Structure 1
Protein backbone atom coordinates (compact mmCIF):
# COMPACT_ATOMS: atom_id res chain seq x y z
CA UNK A 1 0.00 0.00 0.00
CA UNK A 2 1.45 3.38 -0.88
CA UNK A 3 1.67 6.36 1.42
CA UNK A 4 -0.83 8.36 -0.65
CA UNK A 5 -3.67 5.93 0.00
CA UNK A 6 -2.86 5.85 3.72
CA UNK A 7 -2.81 9.65 3.84
CA UNK A 8 -6.02 9.81 1.82
CA UNK A 9 -7.78 7.36 4.12
CA UNK A 10 -6.58 9.27 7.16
CA UNK A 11 -7.77 12.58 5.73
CA UNK A 12 -11.22 11.09 4.99
CA UNK A 13 -11.44 9.80 8.54
CA UNK A 14 -10.32 13.15 9.92
CA UNK A 15 -12.91 15.03 7.86
CA UNK A 16 -15.68 12.74 9.11
CA UNK A 17 -16.42 11.33 5.66
CA UNK A 18 -17.58 7.74 5.93
CA UNK A 19 -16.77 5.40 3.05
CA UNK A 20 -20.20 3.77 3.48
CA UNK A 21 -21.95 7.11 2.92
CA UNK A 22 -19.96 7.68 -0.25
CA UNK A 23 -20.82 4.20 -1.50
CA UNK A 24 -24.52 4.63 -0.69
CA UNK A 25 -24.61 8.00 -2.44
CA UNK A 26 -22.80 6.64 -5.50
CA UNK A 27 -25.31 3.76 -5.72
CA UNK A 28 -28.17 6.27 -5.51
CA UNK A 29 -26.64 8.37 -8.28
CA UNK A 30 -26.20 5.27 -10.42
CA UNK A 31 -29.87 4.32 -9.97
CA UNK A 32 -30.98 7.88 -10.73
CA UNK A 33 -28.92 7.93 -13.91
CA UNK A 34 -30.45 4.60 -14.99
CA UNK A 35 -33.93 6.08 -14.50
CA UNK A 36 -32.99 9.19 -16.49
CA UNK A 37 -31.62 7.00 -19.28
CA UNK A 38 -34.83 4.93 -19.34
CA UNK A 39 -36.87 8.13 -19.62
CA UNK A 40 -34.73 9.39 -22.50
CA UNK A 41 -34.89 5.98 -24.19
CA UNK A 42 -38.70 5.91 -23.95
CA UNK A 43 -38.93 9.42 -25.39
CA UNK A 44 -36.57 8.60 -28.28
CA UNK A 45 -38.20 5.28 -29.16
CA UNK A 46 -41.70 6.74 -29.24
CA UNK A 47 -40.48 9.78 -31.16
CA UNK A 48 -38.61 7.71 -33.77
CA UNK A 49 -40.64 4.51 -34.02
CA UNK A 50 -43.90 5.12 -32.17
CA UNK A 51 -47.22 4.61 -33.93
CA UNK A 52 -50.17 7.00 -33.79
CA UNK A 53 -52.71 4.19 -33.21
CA UNK A 54 -52.29 4.00 -29.44
CA UNK A 55 -52.32 7.76 -29.00
CA UNK A 56 -55.48 8.24 -31.05
CA UNK A 57 -57.36 5.94 -28.67
CA UNK A 58 -56.48 7.90 -25.50
CA UNK A 59 -59.78 9.81 -25.62
CA UNK A 60 -60.96 10.98 -22.19
CA UNK A 61 -57.69 9.95 -20.56
CA UNK A 62 -55.83 12.84 -22.22
CA UNK A 63 -53.74 14.62 -19.59
CA UNK A 64 -53.94 11.86 -16.98
CA UNK A 65 -50.71 10.62 -15.43
CA UNK A 66 -49.53 7.04 -15.23
CA UNK A 67 -46.41 6.29 -13.25
CA UNK A 68 -44.02 3.39 -13.57
CA UNK A 69 -42.36 2.39 -10.29
CA UNK A 70 -39.17 0.36 -10.43
CA UNK A 71 -38.23 -0.86 -6.92
CA UNK A 72 -34.80 -2.04 -8.13
CA UNK A 73 -33.96 1.58 -9.03
CA UNK A 74 -35.98 3.03 -6.14
CA UNK A 75 -37.59 5.49 -8.51
CA UNK A 76 -40.46 6.46 -10.76
CA UNK A 77 -41.05 7.31 -14.39
CA UNK A 78 -44.00 9.60 -15.11
CA UNK A 79 -45.98 9.35 -18.33
CA UNK A 80 -48.71 11.82 -19.21
CA UNK A 81 -51.28 10.30 -21.57
CA UNK A 82 -51.64 12.43 -24.70
CA UNK A 83 -53.59 12.18 -27.96
CA UNK A 84 -50.64 12.97 -30.25
CA UNK A 85 -47.33 11.15 -30.46
CA UNK A 86 -45.47 14.47 -30.76
CA UNK A 87 -46.64 15.48 -27.27
CA UNK A 88 -45.45 12.27 -25.60
CA UNK A 89 -43.07 12.82 -22.72
CA UNK A 90 -41.58 10.54 -20.12
CA UNK A 91 -39.96 12.09 -17.06
CA UNK A 92 -37.89 10.53 -14.30
CA UNK A 93 -40.05 11.73 -11.41
CA UNK A 94 -43.05 10.74 -9.38
CA UNK A 95 -46.48 11.68 -10.74
CA UNK A 96 -48.44 14.26 -8.75
CA UNK A 97 -51.84 12.63 -9.24
CA UNK A 98 -51.43 9.24 -10.95
CA UNK A 99 -54.51 7.44 -12.22
CA UNK A 100 -52.47 4.22 -12.29
CA UNK A 101 -49.14 2.91 -11.06
CA UNK A 102 -47.37 0.11 -12.89
CA UNK A 103 -44.83 -1.66 -10.68
CA UNK A 104 -42.04 -3.59 -12.37
CA UNK A 105 -40.81 -5.84 -9.58
CA UNK A 106 -37.71 -7.55 -10.97
CA UNK A 107 -34.03 -7.58 -10.11
CA UNK A 108 -31.94 -4.65 -11.24
CA UNK A 109 -30.27 -6.58 -14.06
CA UNK A 110 -33.67 -7.67 -15.50
CA UNK A 111 -35.38 -4.25 -15.61
CA UNK A 112 -34.20 -3.33 -19.10
CA UNK A 113 -35.11 -6.79 -20.44
CA UNK A 114 -38.71 -6.55 -19.16
CA UNK A 115 -39.18 -3.01 -20.44
CA UNK A 116 -37.65 -3.98 -23.79
CA UNK A 117 -40.07 -6.92 -24.12
CA UNK A 118 -43.00 -4.58 -23.51
CA UNK A 119 -41.78 -1.96 -25.97
CA UNK A 120 -41.00 -4.44 -28.76
CA UNK A 121 -44.41 -6.12 -28.51
CA UNK A 122 -47.19 -5.33 -30.95
CA UNK A 123 -49.99 -3.11 -29.70
CA UNK A 124 -52.73 -5.69 -30.20
CA UNK A 125 -54.46 -8.44 -28.22
CA UNK A 126 -51.61 -10.90 -28.79
CA UNK A 127 -49.02 -8.34 -27.66
CA UNK A 128 -51.02 -7.58 -24.53
CA UNK A 129 -51.54 -11.31 -23.92
CA UNK A 130 -47.76 -11.72 -23.75
CA UNK A 131 -47.82 -9.54 -20.63
CA UNK A 132 -50.22 -11.86 -18.77
CA UNK A 133 -47.50 -14.28 -17.53
CA UNK A 134 -45.59 -11.33 -16.08
CA UNK A 135 -48.74 -10.18 -14.31
CA UNK A 136 -49.44 -13.66 -12.96
CA UNK A 137 -45.86 -14.14 -11.75
CA UNK A 138 -45.93 -10.75 -10.05
CA UNK A 139 -43.14 -9.23 -12.14
CA UNK A 140 -45.58 -6.52 -13.18
CA UNK A 141 -48.37 -5.20 -10.98
CA UNK A 142 -50.92 -2.54 -11.76
CA UNK A 143 -52.41 -0.36 -9.04
CA UNK A 144 -55.28 1.90 -10.01
CA UNK A 145 -56.89 2.09 -13.42
CA UNK A 146 -56.10 -0.99 -15.50
CA UNK A 147 -57.42 0.73 -18.64
CA UNK A 148 -55.13 3.76 -18.16
CA UNK A 149 -52.13 1.46 -17.67
CA UNK A 150 -53.03 -0.50 -20.80
CA UNK A 151 -53.45 2.75 -22.74
CA UNK A 152 -49.91 3.72 -21.78
CA UNK A 153 -48.55 0.30 -22.69
CA UNK A 154 -50.25 0.46 -26.10
CA UNK A 155 -48.68 3.88 -26.72
CA UNK A 156 -45.14 2.67 -26.04
CA UNK A 157 -45.46 -0.65 -27.92
CA UNK A 158 -43.63 -0.18 -31.21
CA UNK A 159 -43.64 -3.80 -32.43
CA UNK A 160 -45.85 -3.01 -35.45
CA UNK A 161 -43.29 -0.56 -36.82
CA UNK A 162 -41.70 -1.32 -40.20
CA UNK A 163 -38.28 -1.89 -38.63
CA UNK A 164 -39.52 -5.14 -37.08
CA UNK A 165 -40.77 -6.52 -40.42
CA UNK A 166 -37.25 -6.82 -41.81
Structure 2
Protein backbone atom coordinates (compact mmCIF):
# COMPACT_ATOMS: atom_id res chain seq x y z
CA UNK A 1 0.00 0.00 0.00
CA UNK A 2 1.08 3.45 -0.70
CA UNK A 3 1.22 6.20 1.87
CA UNK A 4 -1.57 7.99 0.05
CA UNK A 5 -3.91 4.95 0.43
CA UNK A 6 -3.06 4.70 4.14
CA UNK A 7 -3.85 8.39 4.67
CA UNK A 8 -7.24 8.02 2.93
CA UNK A 9 -7.97 4.86 4.94
CA UNK A 10 -7.06 6.66 8.16
CA UNK A 11 -9.20 9.71 7.27
CA UNK A 12 -12.17 7.45 6.32
CA UNK A 13 -11.94 5.52 9.59
CA UNK A 14 -11.64 8.76 11.52
CA UNK A 15 -14.80 10.13 9.83
CA UNK A 16 -16.72 6.93 10.64
CA UNK A 17 -15.75 7.12 14.32
CA UNK A 18 -16.60 10.85 14.52
CA UNK A 19 -20.00 10.17 12.85
CA UNK A 20 -20.81 7.43 15.37
CA UNK A 21 -19.82 9.66 18.29
CA UNK A 22 -21.82 12.64 17.03
CA UNK A 23 -24.83 10.38 16.40
CA UNK A 24 -24.78 9.06 19.97
CA UNK A 25 -24.32 12.55 21.44
CA UNK A 26 -26.71 14.62 19.32
CA UNK A 27 -29.49 12.16 18.43
CA UNK A 28 -31.87 10.78 21.08
CA UNK A 29 -33.23 7.29 20.45
CA UNK A 30 -37.01 6.95 20.53
CA UNK A 31 -38.42 4.22 22.75
CA UNK A 32 -42.06 3.52 21.84
CA UNK A 33 -42.56 1.34 24.93
CA UNK A 34 -41.70 4.12 27.38
CA UNK A 35 -44.81 5.92 28.71
CA UNK A 36 -42.87 9.02 29.76
CA UNK A 37 -42.04 10.05 26.19
CA UNK A 38 -44.74 11.72 24.11
CA UNK A 39 -44.38 12.26 20.39
CA UNK A 40 -46.11 15.35 19.03
CA UNK A 41 -46.40 15.61 15.28
CA UNK A 42 -48.08 18.47 13.43
CA UNK A 43 -49.35 16.41 10.51
CA UNK A 44 -49.06 12.86 9.22
CA UNK A 45 -50.13 11.96 5.70
CA UNK A 46 -50.64 8.39 4.59
CA UNK A 47 -53.00 6.48 2.32
CA UNK A 48 -54.23 4.13 5.05
CA UNK A 49 -53.70 3.97 8.81
CA UNK A 50 -54.54 0.82 10.80
CA UNK A 51 -54.44 0.86 14.61
CA UNK A 52 -55.08 -2.23 16.71
CA UNK A 53 -54.50 -5.96 16.68
CA UNK A 54 -56.24 -8.77 14.82
CA UNK A 55 -59.35 -8.75 17.04
CA UNK A 56 -60.07 -5.03 17.20
CA UNK A 57 -58.91 -2.69 14.50
CA UNK A 58 -59.54 0.90 13.66
CA UNK A 59 -58.49 1.90 10.17
CA UNK A 60 -58.72 5.23 8.42
CA UNK A 61 -58.61 5.46 4.63
CA UNK A 62 -59.88 7.94 2.02
CA UNK A 63 -61.68 10.01 4.66
CA UNK A 64 -63.61 7.01 6.03
CA UNK A 65 -63.13 5.27 9.35
CA UNK A 66 -63.60 1.51 9.66
CA UNK A 67 -64.18 0.14 13.14
CA UNK A 68 -64.17 -3.68 13.44
CA UNK A 69 -65.23 -4.09 9.81
CA UNK A 70 -68.03 -1.50 9.90
CA UNK A 71 -67.38 1.59 7.80
CA UNK A 72 -68.36 4.78 9.61
CA UNK A 73 -68.06 8.35 8.47
CA UNK A 74 -68.69 11.45 10.52
CA UNK A 75 -68.97 9.59 13.82
CA UNK A 76 -67.42 9.40 17.26
CA UNK A 77 -66.22 6.03 18.51
CA UNK A 78 -65.80 5.42 22.25
CA UNK A 79 -63.25 2.95 23.62
CA UNK A 80 -62.40 1.95 27.19
CA UNK A 81 -58.93 1.88 28.76
CA UNK A 82 -58.32 -1.59 27.27
CA UNK A 83 -59.25 -0.25 23.79
CA UNK A 84 -62.47 -2.29 23.59
CA UNK A 85 -65.18 -0.57 21.59
CA UNK A 86 -67.88 0.66 23.98
CA UNK A 87 -70.00 2.94 21.81
CA UNK A 88 -70.49 4.83 18.58
CA UNK A 89 -72.42 7.99 17.87
CA UNK A 90 -72.68 9.17 14.32
CA UNK A 91 -74.31 8.78 10.93
CA UNK A 92 -75.08 5.53 9.14
CA UNK A 93 -74.68 5.05 5.39
CA UNK A 94 -78.10 6.66 4.79
CA UNK A 95 -77.05 9.79 6.73
CA UNK A 96 -79.38 8.92 9.65
CA UNK A 97 -78.09 9.63 13.15
CA UNK A 98 -77.69 6.65 15.47
CA UNK A 99 -76.20 5.70 18.82
CA UNK A 100 -74.84 2.23 19.61
CA UNK A 101 -73.58 1.07 23.00
CA UNK A 102 -71.62 -2.18 23.13
CA UNK A 103 -71.38 -4.73 25.95
CA UNK A 104 -68.29 -5.76 27.89
CA UNK A 105 -66.93 -7.77 24.95
CA UNK A 106 -66.99 -4.70 22.70
CA UNK A 107 -69.00 -6.52 20.01
CA UNK A 108 -72.58 -7.19 21.17
CA UNK A 109 -74.89 -4.17 20.92
CA UNK A 110 -76.72 -3.62 24.24
CA UNK A 111 -78.39 -0.33 23.32
CA UNK A 112 -79.35 1.16 19.97
CA UNK A 113 -81.11 4.37 19.09
CA UNK A 114 -81.61 4.91 15.40
CA UNK A 115 -83.43 3.88 12.28
CA UNK A 116 -85.49 0.66 12.30
CA UNK A 117 -84.39 -0.68 8.91
CA UNK A 118 -86.13 -4.06 9.35
CA UNK A 119 -89.71 -2.84 9.74
CA UNK A 120 -90.83 0.62 8.72
CA UNK A 121 -87.82 2.93 8.58
CA UNK A 122 -88.90 4.89 11.68
CA UNK A 123 -86.81 5.55 14.79
CA UNK A 124 -86.39 2.87 17.46
CA UNK A 125 -84.83 2.57 20.93
CA UNK A 126 -83.64 -0.97 21.73
CA UNK A 127 -82.07 -1.86 25.10
CA UNK A 128 -80.78 -5.38 25.87
CA UNK A 129 -79.12 -7.11 28.80
CA UNK A 130 -75.30 -7.17 28.81
CA UNK A 131 -75.38 -10.88 29.68
CA UNK A 132 -75.19 -13.33 26.78
CA UNK A 133 -77.59 -15.79 28.48
CA UNK A 134 -80.06 -13.19 29.80
CA UNK A 135 -82.69 -12.30 27.18
CA UNK A 136 -84.22 -9.26 28.94
CA UNK A 137 -84.91 -6.40 26.53
CA UNK A 138 -87.03 -3.32 25.99
CA UNK A 139 -87.86 -1.93 22.57
CA UNK A 140 -89.68 1.35 22.03
CA UNK A 141 -90.60 2.29 18.50
CA UNK A 142 -93.04 3.84 16.11
CA UNK A 143 -95.41 1.43 14.38
CA UNK A 144 -98.58 1.56 12.26
CA UNK A 145 -100.75 2.14 15.37
CA UNK A 146 -98.70 5.10 16.56
CA UNK A 147 -96.13 3.55 18.86
CA UNK A 148 -95.31 0.46 20.79
CA UNK A 149 -93.29 -0.98 23.65
CA UNK A 150 -92.04 -4.56 23.60
CA UNK A 151 -90.63 -6.03 26.82
CA UNK A 152 -89.04 -9.47 27.22
CA UNK A 153 -88.13 -11.32 30.42
CA UNK A 154 -84.96 -13.34 31.17
CA UNK A 155 -86.06 -16.26 29.02
CA UNK A 156 -87.03 -14.03 26.08
CA UNK A 157 -90.81 -14.31 26.54
CA UNK A 158 -92.96 -11.24 25.95
CA UNK A 159 -94.19 -9.47 29.11
CA UNK A 160 -97.63 -7.85 29.32
CA UNK A 161 -98.01 -4.20 30.27
CA UNK A 162 -100.54 -2.56 32.58
CA UNK A 163 -101.85 0.98 32.13
CA UNK A 164 -102.53 3.38 35.00
CA UNK A 165 -105.90 1.67 35.61
CA UNK A 166 -104.17 -1.75 35.89
CA UNK A 167 -105.67 -2.96 32.61
CA UNK A 168 -103.40 -5.43 30.90
CA UNK A 169 -102.42 -4.65 27.34
Give the TM-score of the pair, scaled to structure 1: 0.26
Of Structure 1 and Structure 2, the greater strand share is in 2
Say which structure, 1 or 2, has more relative contact order (CA 8 Å, 6+ apart). 1
Of Structure 1 and Structure 2, the greater helix share is in 1
* Structure index of larger Rg: 2
